[in-house]
């Protein structure tokens, strides 16, 4: 079958013509889909979506091919890529947003530490200790801590960050 002509037998629903078409252009369509969704395990499903789209409504899309505008392989590549992108968008839209899932499904049992960490007294400043205690012991957020201490929220975030860096360095040194 010449590459730039869609045979009439195919458009009339001839099974042998369709099988020849799939054999000839299947690899091209799979490659185009793989380019849109690399590393996905459902490449064959996405390629199947392309073939279904080409057959749909009595080959309406395939009948719209115009050899004066592009070669058949170029046109099929564009159709395959757009069909794959559309299918991936639909699948993403079908996923349930995290906010819609009941919070109880994410619940885990609270685990109390076996022993409380003992930090060297000079490791953290008094403000850093206080901020860590408010965040981790009293479950306060940054805005609440800033208001309680009368400081800017960025100061709270900065103190928390610096304290965490000190703690990481301290415990990393202990493990070595």
Mean of the pLDDT values across residues 75-100? 81
Per-residue pLDDT band at 127 (split at 50, 70, 90): very high
Evaluate the CA torsion angle 28, 55, 3, 82 in order and state its sign. negative
Q: d(Cα 164, Cα 176) in Å, to the nearest integer?
A: 18
How many Å separate Cα 160 from the centre of its chain? Answer: 30
**Token pair belonging to 148:** 């309680």
The most distant pair of C-alpha atoms in the chain lies apart, rounded to whole Å, by 86
8-state DSSP, 96:
P
**Where in 12-162 does DSSP place strands (E)?**
none
Specify whether the CB–CB gap between 61 and 79 falls below 8 A: yes
Q: Domains in the chain, ordered, with CATH?
A: 8-96 (1.10.1740.10), 119-175 (1.10.10.10)
pLDDT at 41 (0 to 100)? 75
User: What is the per-residue pLDDT across 49-81, written as a single tens digit (0 to 9) for each?
Assistant: 999 999 888 889 888 888 888 888 899 999 999
pLDDT at residue 1 above 50? no
């Amino acid at each position: 079958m010449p590459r730039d002509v869609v045979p009439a037998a195919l458009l009339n629903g001839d099974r042998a013509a369709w099988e020849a078409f799939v054999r000839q252009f299947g690899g091209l369509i799979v490659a185009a889909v793989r380019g849109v969704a690399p590393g996905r395990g459902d490449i064959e499903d996405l390629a199947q979506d392309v073939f279904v789209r080409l057959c749909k409504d009595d080959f309406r899309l395939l009948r719209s091919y115009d050899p004066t505008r592009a070669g058949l392989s170029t046109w099929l590549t564009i159709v395959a890529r757009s069909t794959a992108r559309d299918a991936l968008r639909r699948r993403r839209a079908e996923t349930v947003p995290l906010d819609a899932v009941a919070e109880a499904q994410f619940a885990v049992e609270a685990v109390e530490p076996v022993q409380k960490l003992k930090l060297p007294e000079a490791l953290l400043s008094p403000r850093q200790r206080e901020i860590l205690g408010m965040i981790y012991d009293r479950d306060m957020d940054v805005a609440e801590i800033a208001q309680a201490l009368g400081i800017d929220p960025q100061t709270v975030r900065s103190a928390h960050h610096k304290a965490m860096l000190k703690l990481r360095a301290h415990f990393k040194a202990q493990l070595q």
